[in-house]
């Protein structure tokens, strides 16, 4: 069993989706809803996000291959994208972007599509999460066990988002503004380190 890969994959996907950071956004988006409507929205968003990420894990590499894009190039590009997300987290820009997406949705009265946009896409299964999924799938491609565990990790992380949605009010009150900032910056530093490692691995693969 590749325990190191499992730990790295879980941390990467958890940071990329950032479940705790979704709590205030979910509260904003569903403030108008009854309890059963919030629950249904949370479940639907989780199913959509998991389907997208699982699809990226399964079809991402064949798609890249058909476009003539090698895994080393994708690792470098993906690592740079993840690094940018980490910078946003460290300097508190990601929360601002999520809040803006919520405001746009509410302003346009798109309540019927909140689960798909912006909850599932791009807040959960956004470019960063999709990129991270394809990168991890490229590492697990030669092992059925590792790939199966990766799908399980995607399920666990997206389910954790569901848990956050269902307890959003309590989590937001417990963390508070200070807690969200500290947690976001800590996860951002971890993601930046992983992104640098990914870029380095891609450069080494190019050099071989």
Task: Find tokens 């066990």 and name the residue.
Answer: 145
Name the nearest CA neighbour of 81 among 126, 139, 136. 126
Q: How far is CA 132 from CA 57, 90, 187, 193, in A?
A: 9, 18, 15, 13
What's the CA gap between 8 and 118, in Å, rounded? 27
Categorize the per-residue pLDDT at 43 as very low, low, confident or very high, splitting at 50, 70 and 90: very high
Q: What is the pTM of this model?
A: 0.77
Domain spans of the chain? 3-200
Per-residue confidence (pLDDT) for residue 98, from 0 to 100: 55
Per-residue confidence (pLDDT) for residue 46, from 0 to 100: 96
Read off the pLDDT of each residue in 121-142 and give the average, rounded to a whole number. Answer: 89
Read off the pLDDT of each residue in 111-123 and give the average, rounded to a whole number. Answer: 78
Read off the pLDDT of each residue in 84-99 and give the average, rounded to a whole number. Answer: 70
Per-residue confidence (pLDDT) for residue 119, from 0 to 100: 84
Per-residue confidence (pLDDT) for residue 112, from 0 to 100: 54
Q: Is the pLDDT of residue 100 over 80?
A: no
Q: Note whether 26 and 39 are within 8 A (CB).
A: no
Task: Find tokens 């490692």 and name the residue.
Answer: 197
What's the CA gap between 196 and 204, in Å, rounded? 12
What's the CA gap between 158 and 42, in Å, rounded? 11
Q: What is the mean pLDDT of the chain?
A: 84
Name the nearest CA neighbour of 169 among 33, 16, 13. 33
Q: Is the pLDDT of residue 110 over 70?
A: no
């Amino acid at each position: 069993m590749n325990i190191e890969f499992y730990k790295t994959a879980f941390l990467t996907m958890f940071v990329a989706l950032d479940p705790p950071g979704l709590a205030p956004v979910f509260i904003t988006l569903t403030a108008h809803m009854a309890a059963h409507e919030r629950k249904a929205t949370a479940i639907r968003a989780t199913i959509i996000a998991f389907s997208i990420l699982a699809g990226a894990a399964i079809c991402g590499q064949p798609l890249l291959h058909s476009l003539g894009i090698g895994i080393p190039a994708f690792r470098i590009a993906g690592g740079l994208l993840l690094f940018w997300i980490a910078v946003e987290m460290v300097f508190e820009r990601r929360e601002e972007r999520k809040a803006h997406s919520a405001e746009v949705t509410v302003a346009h009265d798109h309540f019927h599509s909140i689960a798909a946009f912006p909850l599932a896409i791009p807040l959960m299964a956004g470019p960063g999460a999709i990129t991270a999924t394809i990168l991890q799938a490229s590492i697990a491609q030669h092992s059925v066990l590792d790939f199966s565990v990766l799908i399980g990790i995607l399920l666990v992380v997206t389910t954790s988002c569901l848990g956050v949605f269902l307890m959003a009010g309590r989590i937001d009150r417990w963390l508070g503004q200070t807690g969200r900032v500290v947690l976001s910056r800590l996860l951002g530093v971890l993601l930046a380190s992983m992104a640098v490692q990914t870029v380095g691995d891609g450069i080494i693969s190019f050099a071989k």
